Structure 1
Amino acid sequence: MPAPMLPSFMALLGLGLSAAPPPSPPSASAVLHAQCRTHAAEPTRPWALAHGMDLDGKAFRARDGRAASDAIVAGFLRRDAPDAGGTARYFFDAFTPDGTPVEPHPALQVKTFLLAGYPRSQAFPTAWGKVTLGELVGSLQRDFRPALAASPDGAWALDALSHALKPGDSFVNGAGETVRMDAVMDTALATLESANAELLSGMQAGLPQVPKNKHGIYAHPCGGLHFFQAVAGWARFPAVRKAWGPRLDAQVDVLVYRLGSEARQYEAALTAAPAYRVQVLVQMVKFYGHFLEALGRYRDETGWKPTPAQARAVAEAKVALEHATQRLEATGAFRDTEALSRKQPQLALDLVGDACHAARGWDLWASAKAR
């Protein structure tokens, strides 16, 4: 005899009890990591590959299975053949002929390889044979001009050289100038101080914010956060830390002050310009991610111990990054990065590069060291 049918409301109740709950949305950390590892792995995009290495270091691989560093060097390194008895010059173009970014900032790639932990003896494949990281550093030194220490675009070269050399070191560049690293990095600190002068005044005056006006530090790529990283990393040497002392401490304080100053301006922009919601949210992810990365690197490289107030700022930056990422995810921008690249290529690039920096910043403060 067939079983009696349940009343419809009982059947619905049974379905409700047996159905699985809807899946939880991915965490902000998962979104950032997936965005970076998915979209930075294309072997024809060397700038993106370098950003994948910013997150995963030597372990990051191109989609074709090669180490990202090998794909970058094999596909995009250029060489000026040496004269008889001379030394070859190695370099990356800023962009490919079709506009794909390779090294829009001088020494981006060499800096990436050094910070990933490759030794100077590391050999990379090229069409003409092997080239070592030491040879790439040698070409960077020949091309380096001291004026880059005072340039907003100098951050990557300074970061590379400061991780290849130590206090007291010097080298002769291609113009025959003797370049002393102590003088270069002292100039870089003075450049950072000058760029941050308006923010320092605002902080000392107790102003809630200082407008982002494309002057000073805001004339630097990524708001000068790469320049801060390059300068602050030099302080891993005790003699430098002692010599710079309160001057560098003040720059850390300014960076922490920027957190509240910029957060207010981003939230105001979201309200005032809803048509630019995606662009503003990308800027928020950029700033909060670079902020966490900068202070995480500073802690790990120098042994810096944040004060309770600075530790609270880091915690606030993590919350702000999480919320900005969730709001950006809700717009669909992360899911539609490839489509966006056809309409707004620079914004699509930012979605990838900034996700990599933000994911790394998150990881630096999510580990056991973040205490």
Structure 2
Amino acid sequence: MSDAGGKGGSSVSDEEWERFLRDPLTGAAEAPVEPSARARAVERRLRERPGEPEGWRTYSPARPRRKKGRYVAGLVAAAALLAVAFFPQQLVSWFGGGGGDGQDGAPLAAESGRPREAPGAEPALRPTVDEPFRGSPAARWADGAAGITVPAAKATGWMDAAQVERVLRQSRDFLVAAGLDSHVLRGERPTKAIALLNPHQKDVQEYLRTALSSKTPTAKTDPLLLFSRFRPQQARLVGDVVKTRGRLTYREGKRGAVEVTADVTFVYPVTAAGDSGGDAEVVRTIARREVVMSWDDPAKVITEPGTMSLVSYALDMTNGGCSAPTGYFVPPFDTADEQLTDKSRKLDPYDRSKPIDASNGTAATGNDCTAATRS
């Protein structure tokens, strides 16, 4: 018992042994148990180990293994995020995100570049007075000016960034004044839009005089090339919302000018002027315009502050009339479905993946009985 008393590593103190020896009767009943050599060795090692020791008979459960499924789930989640980032429109069509008729679908993100393809097919549902964009990709487009994307401005040509930002805003103002102004849509003179045009650009000023005064415009003097107009006696807008989708881009042009290009599609739901019932036929007239505007350096080009020169303008139009130009959109009420049987070219008016196929820089492809494959 040389290790007794706690000096040799035993857990039994000297006082306990002495009490046991003095009172053998009690000690027999309550004699301390001398730990085994193995227990003393384990206790010694635990005392020498830093930190809070575990009991030598305690149980430490095994650490659970990580499941392979977690890695698989992580990869699937990463792939889903990439799919949403790069193919949002396809995912919407796969999983029915269009809300059936497109009315309940989430609005599309702003158009920041030319799409790679036309939007997917929508359910073949006719528009109504209450839902004039039903069955159309335009149901998820923005309203009015909000659908025209304006890029960030940076110094270009003769302008600094602040000046570029201002002319981009004015370029959008021109599109709004020409294609969304309620007075212009009713056939009134596009005064606000004309105020943004360089009064010293002779060819454009001649076009404006002829287009807005002639009762028999030609394909090259048709005011529809720049302005959206309906005869109030023939058609009226359904509600006060026109859907739009498009964007502005810019670059340095001739003589250091800032050249802004607009590519915007306008969707106008209309009914016949005398048809005001809830079951009235709704026709969507769709106009896509490409307008190139030059904001010139006044030191190099004769111009007026706050005005721009037109480089080119072109129009693609469907459901706006197939007869000779009248200067107004002429929706094909009661005959909209018959246009597809015409021998004219067919056009998906919602396909913005290709530029307008204009015959020249200032003429339109409209008023040539272009038939819409959908509206």
TM-score (norm. length: structure 2):
0.26
- Structure having the higher helix fraction is 1
- Structure having the higher strand fraction is 2
TM-score (norm. length: structure 1):
0.26
Structure showing greater relative contact order (alpha-carbon pairs closer than 8 Å, 6 or more residues apart): 1
Bigger Rg, which one: 2
